[in-house]
Amino acid sequence: MTTDVSSLMTLVETTAQQLGLHKYDLGGSQIDEVSVQVQNGQPKQVKASQRSGITVRVWNQQGQMGVTSTTDLDRRGLELALGMARDASHFGVTEHIPDFSPQAQAPVAPIDLPPVTPAPASELVQKLVAAEQAVIEAHPAISSVPYNGLSQRGISRFYLNSEGAMRQEGGTYTSIYLYSKTDVAGRKPRSAGAFRLSYGLEDLDIASCIAETIEKTTSHLDYQPIASGHYPVIFSPEAFLSLLSAFSNLFNAQSILDGQSLSTPDSLGLALAVPELNVFDDARHPEHIGATTFDGEGTPTQRTPLIEQGILTGLLHSAGTAKRLQAQPTGHANMGAKVTVSSHFYDVSPGREANSSYNLATVDGVVYVDDLHALHAGVKALQGSFSLPFDGWLLKNGERISIESATVAGDFRAVLKQIVHLDPVAQFTQGGFCPLVWVDGLAITGE
């Protein structure tokens, strides 16, 4: 299911002329997906879906804008959507009205994607059954893999407008996740998991996903309580990026304009973190599987600096926020009833050199935070504070001791200024590229 944007443009132009419309745009995506889940060596769910979501915007002669959505791209569907958006425009806002991106027709450098032959659902089931069995058989304490999935998704995205802008891109992506559970008499169940992503099934590193799931699960079997107190903390790449995403209002221009941010328009140029920290958002990062070349308004994506040498140097912009803050769109807009702004793929630069004082094999009395939970409840984004349960270990002279149950708490702005070390090697995660982040002293509350 792939949209022919040239044919769609012609159809939209004809329909708009019949309705007397002069300014409009459309953006959206269509997805083909096959996903499987298994349980005890048998298929639990095999699902194939085709879905689409298209946003249609129309401006009337007074300059007001109306928005509607549709899943139907034939002549009748477009006629209804354009007509409804036209009618809605009479109730549109009269201040800060969204407009076309000034870069909607700027050249876009393509991203080279490897050719992928979709695998049949039967092969997905076979691979996932084998992965489940490998995890369960790895250790007698592992009783099941209750949460698992292997999916293959084809995505086609497009944007077009009445001034002649026309964008299209697509790709195929395959992912697997495994989340195991233990069952040991007299002990609490322990769980851990792993996730992998690739373009096609042939390139999907299922073996390392299995190995990580087993290693993490078994490392939590001999858990112990931890005394409450202040501890040096190491955030895994996944955990640090989770916090960075939770407090992304720091560099979200729309949040700043809405008064829903820890930053203000005057925050640019201020020290936000230690000088060693550099953070970029890079939709086109070579490690980013699922890279995109344009945003919901047709603006080309780019590598956007956010924090450089600890200084807040950039914001994530849509066309509207860029105009209001006298900046340039950065390719982070999402089209909808309201244009929103969000990140693509964080790139936290690694440290410059190794330091023997920060060696996982020798450190003592340090808490390693591997995975944060309940971010929806434990983060106060407008106050900067967080208190979150986590999975992790207490490191004693390099030995990992699983922590039974604990929370880590602090102020994210203080965390950024308490970073004492960034590992010299960054790691790829689902949410970005990031090294281990060592922080000097956070509150850990145990049982």
pLDDT digits (tens, 9 = 90+) for 374-419: 999 999 999 999 999 999 999 999 899 999 999 999 999 999 999 9
Contact yes or no for 38/44 (Cβ under 8 A): yes
DSSP code string of 344-365:
--EEEPPPSS--GGG-TTT--S
Does residue 2 surpass a pLDDT of 60? no
191 and 43 both lie in a single domain:
yes
Can you give the residue range of the structural domain that contains 125?
1-218
Measured distance CA(146)–CA(148) in Å, rounded? 7
Band of the pLDDT at 3, cuts 50, 70, 90? low
102 and 244 both lie in a single domain:
no
Q: Which tokens sit at 130? A: 């084998």
Q: Tell me, what CATH number does 28's domain have?
A: 3.30.2290.10
For residue 137, give Cα distances in angstroms to 201, 338, 345, 445: 23, 50, 36, 35
107 and 167 both lie in a single domain:
yes
169 and 255 both lie in a single domain:
no
Does residue 431 surpass a pLDDT of 90? no
What share of residues in the chain are helix, strand, coil (percent, to 5)?
A: 25, 40, 40
pLDDT digits (tens, 9 = 90+) for 331-342: 999 998 899 999
pLDDT digits (tens, 9 = 90+) for 43-68: 999 999 999 899 999 999 999 999 99
Query: Which of 192, 218, 244 is the C-terminal boundary of a domain?
Result: 218
Query: Which of 178, 198, 218 is the C-terminal boundary of a domain?
Result: 218
Does residue 1 surpass a pLDDT of 70? no
Q: For 421, which DSSP code?
A: E
13 and 66 both lie in a single domain:
yes
Computed from CA positions of residues 272, 278, 284, 286, in that sequence, does the dihedral angle turn out positive or negative? negative
**Number of domains the chain is built from:** 2
pLDDT digits (tens, 9 = 90+) for 172-203: 999 999 999 999 999 999 999 999 999 999 99
Q: Which tokens sit at 277? A: 């920290």
136 and 228 both lie in a single domain:
no
207 and 238 both lie in a single domain:
no
- Compute the mean pLDDT over every residue in the chain, rounded to the nearest whole number: 95
Q: What is the Rg, in whole angstroms, of the alpha carbon atoms belonging to the chain?
A: 24
Contact yes or no for 281/301 (Cβ under 8 A): no
309 and 297 both lie in a single domain:
yes
328 and 401 both lie in a single domain:
yes
DSSP code string of 127-195:
HHHHHHHHHHHT-TTEEEEEEEEEEEEEEEEEEEETTS-EEEEEEEEEEEEEEEEE--TTS---EEEEE
179 and 248 both lie in a single domain:
no
Least Cα distance to 20 among 72, 100, 83, 97 occurs for 83
211 and 229 both lie in a single domain:
no
278 and 200 both lie in a single domain:
no
Measured distance CA(280)–CA(299) in Å, rounded? 18
Measured distance CA(347)–CA(434) in Å, rounded? 6
Query: Which of 218, 246, 280 is the C-terminal boundary of a domain?
Result: 218
- pLDDT for the residue 352: 82
Does residue 88 surpass a pLDDT of 90? yes
